[in-house]
Chains A and B, each alone.
Chain A
Amino acid sequence: MNKIELLAPAGDLERLKTAVRYGADAVYIGGKQFSLRSRASNFSLEDIEAGVAFAKQYGAKVHVTVNMLPHEDDLLGLIEYLQALENSGVHAIICASPAIMMCAKQHAPKLEIHVSTQHSVTNSAAVNYWKRKGVDRVVLARELTLSQLEAVQSGSELPLEVFIHGGMCISYSGRCMLSNHMTLRDANRGGCAQSCRWKYRLYENGRPIHDEKILFSMSSKDLMGARFLPDLIRMGIASVKIEGRMKSTYYIATLIHTYRMLIDEIYTEGSISDQRMDWYCAQLAKAENRPFATGFYLGMPQANDQLYGVNGAGISGEYIADVIAYDSTHKTATLKVRNKFDPGTLAEAFAPHEPLRQFIISEIYDEDDMRLETANQPMRIVKIPCDIPLSEHAMIRKVIDKKPIE
């Protein structure tokens, strides 16, 4: 049996490299054309080529989202674009439009075609329909329980990809026009304004029935499906996908680092204890900025799986620096500051394929070795004494006792 694929998002070349270094088997990215998530800093064709070349060094693949549902004017240049992707060495394209799928089969046949979750495939008959059309993989709808997923998998003749982690559309994907109606931004062409996460007053026959202090919202908690990985592996699911092409480098590094270790441990040990799983979930929580839930994996989401009274935004302040270099003679690390930290901070370093290591930042110096009271300017280069050797590309975060956000 093939090992389950860990599929990471990346909004730009830097994040693609991070995902690959930290252990992603494949990365999905958007090009500048025909892709959703227009706010994600999408890749030029040159960037795509560079990303494919980088990924290849690590044995990783690049998938490109061509998942727009095009209007008439959007179709210009499609064939040339698909051929350029094929020539760049892209492994697969993720599509919602059957016309784009068939166009790729005809004009760029080396590209694998993956049916996007925008198509909301929820059963094996639909999967096998796409098989007959020459498609190579289906990304299933998020609206499936574990047992429904198992039924789809057992009846399907194609590899299946499922979401394991990240933000959740409240709607069946592709079937939501809230953003179109309320902001004229087309959710199916990359303009989603996340209107579902806004606050609403609720009326019955014109009579208000909402609570003014906690208005109605359609905002879901984020998915954390790590606990279901052993089941997904047992079922034979081909790929687990992390949502978040607009997320930060730190987010991607934290998630990929953790999921890589988790998947490898399940394969190596054959199983995983509850205690170890708790530890992995705690690591994943260090990256997240919304509360978690289990999506549909355990059944219909309930009130506790929704977000009310908050806008779901807010950045975790734990990520404090990147490691630029380490001088083993003087035991000094050179860092690029990302978020404020002070002397005395208990820190944790994590690097690709290395375990977590904790240490105290006792002192901070600038590049001229002048001592600093604080490191509070993002992107500033600073030095710290550090007895443990830190790898280039390692990231540093504060160790804090994070209480659940409710």
Chain B
Amino acid sequence: MKLLTTPITKDDIQRLANAGADGLILGTAFFSLRSAGLFEEAELVKLVELCHKYNAEMRVLVNRMFHDDELPRLKQHLSFLKEIGTDAIYFSDEAVLAISEELNMKQLLIYQSDTLLTNHMDTDYYLAEGLKGIVLAKEITVSEITEIAKASDASKMELIAHGYLAMMHSRRNLLSSYMEHLGRTEKLSDNYHMTIEEATRHEAMPIYEDAHGTHVFSAFVQQSFTELNQFIQEGIGAIRIDGIFHSGEELVQLVSIYDRLRKGELDAKSAKEAFRSAFPKTVSASGFYYQATGLSK
């Protein structure tokens, strides 16, 4: 099983690879949604060399939705990513798939729609397109993951195993609109230190607004220490430690814990203890692994 993570800066690449990361997922401001680290497109030429130097894949997020006037730029970007030797490209918009087909690079694509992939038939559909892989939705249970892994090609599946989970993406500038409604002038866009709490609850959910709209995240950090061995047994191809709202140093600690767990140097209990000791204030949970959502109200 590959261990993937999301460096925040260039300097994190070597440290994360040394800690055990097999793949590093990078984002660019224009093409990527909710990327932990943002890099210049031109930088990727050097970064791919750096990743490969440390035996890690460079994977790139091209996971936003595009408008027609942006399609030429998208095509140029995809062509560039292929040319520089990018190892994988995450996408959500079928335009990326269509253009990659023209560019003969579908084999680099990984479908990551965040919420839409919840069963083996849809998994099979995207894998039959000749993609490198898919990322399963986060809102399914361990037993559903097992069923999908058994029924489809588990080696091409990736799970978001650790990190804050993206809960909502609006194209609207919801924080700026609120300030405008209140008649206040504070600028809240590109501020990554904000949370919302529903009026009757006490769960702080991270929220931020950027050029792509407004994003809301889970109040907890998803963790998968207990489940990792089961995922390995099932042949799941990769897990991701998503570093949004984390520092590079914290990511190195997390990668190291999961790597030792993966290698059998730590058992699940000790891995959890190592995590608690390194992140004493973090609220973590098993997400939807054992908590099925319902069909009705």
Interface residues of A (CB under 8 A from B): 38-39, 69-72, 74-75, 96-100, 102-103, 118-126, 128-130, 141, 143-144, 148, 151-152, 155, 170-172, 174-178, 180-182, 184-186, 188-191, 193, 195-196, 198-206, 209-211, 214-218, 220, 296, 300-306, 308
Contact = CB atoms under 8 A, between A and B. Distances in A.
Given A177-B139, A300-B171, 4 more contacts: A97-B122, A126-B95, A143-B65, A191-B297
B60 interface: no
Contacts of A214: 181-182
Given A120-B65, A200-B196, A99 B181 contact: no
Interface stretch (B79-87, B172-180, B235-243, B247-255): B172-180
Contacts of B293: 180, 184-186, 189, 191
Interface string B134-177: 00011110001001100100000000000001111111111111
Nearest to A155: B68
Contacts of B138: 177
Given A71-B118, A202-B178, A123 B295 contact: no
B296 interface: yes
A185 B295 CA distance: 6
B11 to A, nearest CB: 25
B98 A128 contact: yes
Given A218-B170, A306-B177, A148 B67 contact: yes
Contacts of B201: 182
B25 interface: no
B193 interface: yes
A216 B116 contact: no
B199 A199 contact: yes
16 contacts: A38-B295, A71-B118, A72-B144, A123-B68, A125-B66, A129-B98, A152-B68, A181-B167, A201-B197, A202-B194, A203-B197, A211-B182, A214-B181, A300-B171, A303-B180, A306-B181
A118 B71 CA distance: 21
B131 interface: no
Contacts of B193: 204-205
Contacts of A118: 116
Contact of B199 (A119, A121, A204, A215): A215
